[in-house]
Structure 1
Amino acid sequence: MLVKMFHGFCMALADSVPGVSGGTVAFILGFYEKFIDALHGLFGKDNGARKVAVLYLAKLGVGWCLGLCLSVVALNDLFQTKTYFLSSLFLGLTAAAFPFILRTEWWALKGKGRYLPYTLLGVALVCGLSLVRGAASGGGVIDYWSLGVGELLYLFVAGALAIMAMVLPGISGSTLLLIFGVYAPTLYALRRLLALDLAVLPGLFALALGVLVGVGVSIRWIRAALRRNRAKMLYFILGLMAGSLYAIVMGPTTLSPPQQALHLETFHLGGFVLGVGILIGLERLKLLIARREARAEKTEDGTQGEEEAQSGGSPQGPA
């Protein structure tokens, strides 16, 4: 229970910042396939699988909600006052994820260089979205206290695309929200909701509805693609990650008022190193959890063996 809550907590921290997605963290910590299967079971037709999925996702969800609340409270002010420090940290998180995924999935990538165009496609997709953001949003900034039908629809689409990114290892859903110019306004709206400002509910509901629809539409496709065309998907994911580096650099331009994009003079080495350290820490934590689980299984197997030996080699005892 506590391990699953911790997994959800880590996913929320990743989902709430541009850079590494919650899916990438699940990938690094080793529970991504189980997470995807649970989401698939939730939207599937098997009632038994749905019950198992609900129980598993509920445990993850408790930790995720705790992590999200902590992130919203901390990031809302930091993103306005420490913009370039956070942008550098996000770059560190994203850059550090490359060697982890390459090492874990090298068996699927090795000898498949012919799929490199999928990486270029991923880069082009994210960079293209960044370039057209101004035109897509009408050049304005989302105001959760003054939303028309067009803005509500825009939030719905942003939510649907963001959750697809959060589920897929590679690009963070928050990176997409950053590209669409709704990341900082959404952080502030969530902060105000925690303060019981209900005026932001329509916009957050539109975003949440998009998230729900996005999960329902995308999860089966993502699960099938990773199982049938894993190499192609991994090359595409690496492209999304590479493209998100550009999106993070341009992130400050989406603020209100807009700030200059991150460049060498505003780059914060300490923030970058901290981002790398966080990913290394997660990898070490994964190894620690795996060792403890292995020891627990070994102890359990040894205890069962002793019980069987004492009962004459049968769990029911001698006949």
Structure 2
Amino acid sequence: MFGIIVRGMAMGMTEVVPGVSGSTVAMILGVYERLIYSLSIVTTDRRNEVIAFLVTFGFGMVTGFASALFIITYFLDNYHASTLLFFLGIIVGFLPYLWKEAQQQTETGLKSKHYIIMLIFISTVIVGQLLSGIMSVDINNMSIMNYAFLIVSGFIASTALVLPGISGALIFMILGVYEIATDSLLTGNLPVILSIGTGVIIGVLLTSKLIRFLLANYSAGTYSAMLGLVIGSIYAISDNLSGQVDGQVILLSLVTFVAGFVLVVVLKRYQDSRFDDI
């Protein structure tokens, strides 16, 4: 049981960081298949088989998420640009691996339709970022549409739990609700927390089977969509860079960018060596 809690904590901590996939960490820790299987049958009459595991794992995730949330929020508040460059380094470092994985899903390599899918999702992220200012959410003056948008955001982000390579925090950042979500969790804003949480829970229950189906039957197209989201997120994060720029900030940002890049390389090498030993 303790081992399951620790694995849940590791996955929960990574879900706070845009660009680090909790599903990838679950793979590294050897719990991914069990998690996806458990989520896929929790709505069936076989749920009793997996309830104990999901509750234990979920407790670990919540604990890890909460502890990492304070750390990430501190760095975003005090070292905004450098922290975003760390996220950017993670994303840039992960792209070659995700591209390789997409290529491996088809014997003949990616075709024109896959690049079209990729471009559609890149464009979706960019357009969404451009419209984020228009559709900004004021947590002190929420409307029904704002709550509906948060529920939908949670629903979309929930796919990160079952899609290796995609980060739930990254989805929130693309949709422009990352800081809203983190601030609400820290301040205990229950209406916002419940809205996003409702979307996440519904999404996990409904999309786990869909994602498994897409990966099993349309894996290349699914990975192409993931690539589009990740590539587009480079623009989304870059667009949020702000604050005073001087030599110290540039140097620190360069260091954090490299640190994020190296972190992904180390994680992937550990994952690959682990699977080679199995």
TM-score w.r.t. the length of structure 2 is 0.84
TM-superposed CA distance for 1:283, in Å, is 3.1
Q: Is the 8 A contact 1:163 1:173 kept in 2?
A: yes
Q: Is the 8 A contact 2:7 2:60 kept in 1?
A: yes
Q: Which one-letter code corresponds to 1:274 in the other structure?
A: A
Secondary structure of 2:73 counterpart = helix
Whole-angstrom distance in 2 between the partners of 1:127 and 1:15: 22
TM-superposed CA distance for 1:152, in Å, is 2.1
Secondary structure of 1:8 counterpart = helix
Q: Which one-letter code corresponds to 2:11 in the other structure?
A: M
Q: Deviations over 1:35-90 (max 9, x none)?
A: 322211113x2x33x22332332332232112111111112221111111111110
TM-superposed CA distance for 1:104, in Å, is 5.2
The one of the two structures with greater contact order (alpha-carbon pairs below 8 A, sep at least 6) is 2
Secondary structure of 1:80 counterpart = helix
Q: Percent identity, aligned pairs only?
A: 27
Q: Deviations over 1:116-165 (max 9, x none)?
A: 2222222122222212212233xxx432x543333322222222222234
* C-alpha spacing 1:102/1:214, structure 2 compared with 1 (3 Å): same
Deviates more, 1:98-107 or 1:122-131: 98-107
Q: Which one-letter code corresponds to 2:72 in the other structure?
A: L
TM-superposed CA distance for 1:224, in Å, is 0.4
| 1:9 and 2:4 are equivalent in the alignment | no
Counterpart of 1:37 in structure 2 is: 37
| 1:58 and 2:41 are equivalent in the alignment | no
Counterpart of 1:88 in structure 2 is: 85
Whole-angstrom distance in 2 between the partners of 1:103 and 1:2: 35
TM-superposed CA distance for 1:242, in Å, is 0.9
How many aligned residue pairs are there?
273
Once the two structures are superposed, the pairs formed by residues 111-260 of structure 1 within 5 Å of their partners are 111-114=108-111, 115-137=114-136, 141-143=137-139, 145-193=140-188, 200-252=189-241, 259=242
Once the two structures are superposed, the pairs formed by residues 282-301 of structure 1 within 5 Å of their partners are 282-286=267-271
Counterpart of 1:274 in structure 2 is: 259
Deviates more, 1:225-234 or 1:116-125: 116-125
Deviates more, 1:269-278 or 1:168-177: 168-177
Once the two structures are superposed, the pairs formed by residues 67-86 of structure 1 within 5 Å of their partners are 67-86=64-83
Whole-angstrom distance in 1 between the partners of 2:107 and 2:95: 15
Whole-angstrom distance in 1 between the partners of 2:244 and 2:32: 33
Q: Deviations over 1:188-216 (max 9, x none)?
A: 221223xxxxxx11221111111112223
Q: Is the 8 A contact 1:165 1:172 kept in 2?
A: yes
Whole-angstrom distance in 2 between the partners of 1:51 and 1:99: 40
Q: Deviations over 1:223-259 (max 9, x none)?
A: 100011112111221121111111111234xxxxxx3
Counterpart of 1:101 in structure 2 is: 98
* C-alpha spacing 1:109/1:251, structure 2 compared with 1 (3 Å): farther
Counterpart of 2:21 in structure 1 is: 21
Q: Which one-letter code corresponds to 2:256 in the other structure?
A: G
Whole-angstrom distance in 2 between the partners of 1:2 and 1:285: 22
* C-alpha spacing 1:277/1:216, structure 2 compared with 1 (3 Å): same
TM-superposed CA distance for 1:2, in Å, is 4.4
Whole-angstrom distance in 2 between the partners of 1:110 and 1:88: 35
Stretches of structure 2 lacking an aligned partner (at least 5 in a row): none
* C-alpha spacing 1:279/1:7, structure 2 compared with 1 (3 Å): farther
Q: Which one-letter code corresponds to 1:124 in the other structure?
A: S
Whole-angstrom distance in 2 between the partners of 1:162 and 1:261: 31
Q: Which one-letter code corresponds to 1:52 in the other structure?
A: E
Q: Which one-letter code corresponds to 1:154 in the other structure?
A: F
Whole-angstrom distance in 1 between the partners of 2:35 and 2:103: 21
Q: Which one-letter code corresponds to 1:68 in the other structure?
A: F
Q: Highest CA radius of gyration, 1 or 2?
A: 1
Q: Is the 8 A contact 2:14 2:65 kept in 1?
A: no
Stretches of structure 1 lacking an aligned partner (at least 5 in a row): 194-199, 253-258, 295-319
TM-score w.r.t. the length of structure 1 is 0.74
Whole-angstrom distance in 2 between the partners of 1:228 and 1:261: 48
Whole-angstrom distance in 2 between the partners of 1:6 and 1:103: 30
TM-superposed CA distance for 1:27, in Å, is 4.7
TM-superposed CA distance for 1:32, in Å, is 3.5
